[in-house]
Structures are given as C-alpha cells and as structure tokens.
C-alpha cells in the first residue's frame, strides 16, 4: 500500500491522517468507530511477508502480544486481516524515537540507564509470555514526552531477518539484502541463522545502550559484510574508554550484554535491569574521545620536516647573497 493512497477506513477504524511509513508498512492516525479511541494503525501489505506461513506466524504472535500489558511496551489493541494485508491497532504515542535523539550524539548517562532499564522491563514482560522482540534497534525504542521508554514493533524481525540462513556467509548476506544498520544490531546467533531468543534481545539492547553512551554503534560499518565480521569477531572498546566518567561497573554490564556467546549474557531481562539500576552515577560524563586522525598522529613529524626545509632554504638564500 502506497502512502499516497489513504483509505477512509480499515477494519472498524476511521483513518484521520498519515503518521509515516517504514520498511514494513504505513502508519496512520485513526479512530476506533465504536469507542472513538485514537490509535496508531500500522498496515502491513501482503507483499511485506516472505511467505503465507510467516504471515500467519506473525499474526498469531501479534494477537498474543495484544494480551501483554506493560507501561514500557507499546500496547497492541488488535491485530486483524484485510484482503490486502494485516493491520495492527496500537497505542498512539507522542514524543520521538531514540534513533532521532541519537542524531545529536550520545545521551545523558542517567537517561541511558533509565531508558535501558525500562526497555529491559518491557522485554521481561514479553519473555514471560514466550515472545521475543528479535529486532532491537534505536528506532524500536520510543521516548515519550514524559521521558519514558516504550518498546515498539515486537515480532517484526520475521519480516526482515531470515531464519535458517547462515548470514556469516557473505554470499548469503548479500542475497538477504540486509542493510549494515540491521546487521549491526543482530546477535551473533541470529547471523548464524538461529531464531532469536530472550538472550538475543538482551544482546540487541546492549548494542543500543553502547550507542546511547558513546554516540556510535560498536559494530557499524558502511559495508554489511564488514559489519557482520565485526559482530562475529570484534570486541569493542569499553564505553568508558571513549567517554571518561562512565562507571567501571557499567563497562562490565555492557561487556556482559555484548558477550558473543549467549551463555555469557544476563540470564534474564530482569537481571539486566537490576544491574543497570545498581550503577552509581557520581560524576558528569566527559566529552567523547575521538579517534586520532592520521594527520594528528603525524603532525609532529610533518612540522619537523617543514622546519628542516625552511632552514635549508634560508641557508641556500644566504649563500646565494654572500657568495655571488
């Protein structure tokens, strides 16, 4: 469905306006005709699903998700089908995605800890019902006008990330068409073709937390293949090395969340949240430490060479003037 073709109604919802669109579908502001409740209505066209089986799996999970209520999880009110696809009636939110906030760089330490802990608690509610998010990225966390986190789009990984396909093979990765930004947020086991587990979600949140603290994704590269290799083999520097003032215990929390082996991560979202809430903030964060450029590293050498050349030129000029 193209965003220019705005229908009057979908299911028993009256469409008010277009809110936006993403890689999966179109989102409208709508009103339920029976209760007059304002909702965000996400419409996923049939072609968004790789197969009818995946479509039915997603619909079943979305209906299960509608049974989960948590203050930091965007409420799904209803999941329904039309002739052209699936629609999700969801809680209407005002604020901004974390992705938009990160455009300006890292966020304050207290905010990063609180939003991450709130997201953990939302994940715990999902995991308790046998559900996973599977696709954690900064755009999947919404920050409300009251500065609280809301987890978005649980289960949408089925539309994007193939299961049973070894994406550590560069040929398979190219065929999948996954963007580097998506690859950078997937747990190593997902890249090896496994379905996401609760500990995969905790890894994904660890990546988001790292970016909140440092302003950069620990694995992102413009090339999807290089990103994949970094996820599978690179140990990123502790956030505290890039931003002095980050407590050492937080560096340890991040390292545990980013363990390449799932057994090395937190055993539950609640334990991850407890670890985040136990971090003591004692000082303000220093400015980010940037990677030194080649020019900065070589500057003393170039200055020495330039000085030597200048001395030689002056000496040559002196000889020319004194010995005609």
Q: Residue 9: what pLDDT?
A: 93
Q: Residue 4: what pLDDT?
A: 57
E strand intervals along the chain: 9-10, 13-21, 26-32, 38-45, 76-81, 85-91, 95-97, 141-144, 149-151
**Cα 70 to the chain's mean position, in Å?**
21
- Write the pLDDT tens digit of every residue in 92-135: 999 999 999 999 999 999 999 999 999 999 999 999 999 999 99
Do the Cβ atoms of 200 and 264 come closer than 8 Å? Answer: no
Q: Residue 157: what pLDDT?
A: 87
What separation in angstroms does the CA of 7 have from each of 2, 18, 237, 274? 10, 10, 50, 46
Surface-to-core class of residue 119, CB atoms within 10 Å of its CB (0-12 exposed, 13-18 middle, 19+ buried): buried
> Which stretches in the chain have pLDDT values below 50?
1, 291-299, 301-302
Q: How many CB atoms lie within 10 A of CB 91?
A: 16
Query: What are the DSSP calls for 272-307, one per residue?
Result: HHHHHHT----SPPPPPPPPPPHHHHHHHHHHHHHH
Do the Cβ atoms of 42 and 90 come closer than 8 Å? Answer: yes
Token reading at 79:
């999941």
Token reading at 37:
């409740």
Query: Which pTM was predicted?
Result: 0.84
């Amino acid at each position: 469905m193209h965003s220019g073709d705005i229908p009057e109604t979908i299911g028993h919802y009256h469409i008010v306006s277009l809110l936006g669109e993403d890689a999966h579908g179109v989102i409208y502001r709508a009103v339920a005709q029976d209760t007059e409740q304002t909702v965000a209505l996400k419409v996923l066209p049939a072609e968004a699903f790789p197969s009818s089986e995946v479509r039915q799996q997603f619909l079943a999970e979305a209906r299960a998700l509608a049974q989960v209520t948590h203050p930091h999880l965007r409420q799904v009110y209803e999941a329904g089908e039309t002739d052209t696809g699936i629609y999700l009636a969801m809680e209407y939110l005002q604020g901004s995605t974390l992705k938009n906030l990160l455009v300006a760089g890292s966020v304050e330490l207290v905010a990063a800890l609180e939003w991450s802990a709130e997201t953990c608690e939302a994940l715990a509610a999902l995991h308790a019902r046998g559900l996973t998010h599977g696709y954690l990225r900064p755009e999947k966390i919404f920050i409300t006008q009251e500065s609280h986190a809301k987890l978005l789009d649980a289960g949408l990984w089925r539309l994007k990330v193939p299961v049973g396909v070894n994406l550590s093979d560069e040929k398979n990765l190219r065929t999948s068409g996954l963007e580097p930004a998506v690859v950078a947020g997937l747990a190593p086991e997902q890249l090896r073709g496994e379905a996401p587990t609760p500990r995969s979600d905790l890894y994904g949140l660890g990546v988001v937390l790292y970016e909140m603290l440092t302003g950069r994704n620990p694995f992102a590269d413009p090339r999807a293949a290089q990103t994949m290799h970094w996820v599978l083999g690179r140990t990123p520097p502790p956030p505290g090395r890039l931003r002095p003032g980050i407590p050492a215990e937080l560096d340890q929390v991040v390292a545990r969340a980013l363990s390449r082996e799932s057994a090395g991560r937190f055993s539950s979202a609640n334990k991850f949240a407890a670890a985040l809430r136990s971090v003591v903030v004692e000082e303000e964060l220093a400015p980010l430490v940037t990677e030194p450029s080649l020019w900065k590293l070589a500057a003393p050498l170039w200055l020495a060479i330039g000085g030597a050349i200048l001395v030689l030129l002056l000496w040559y000029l002196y000889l020319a003037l004194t010995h005609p």
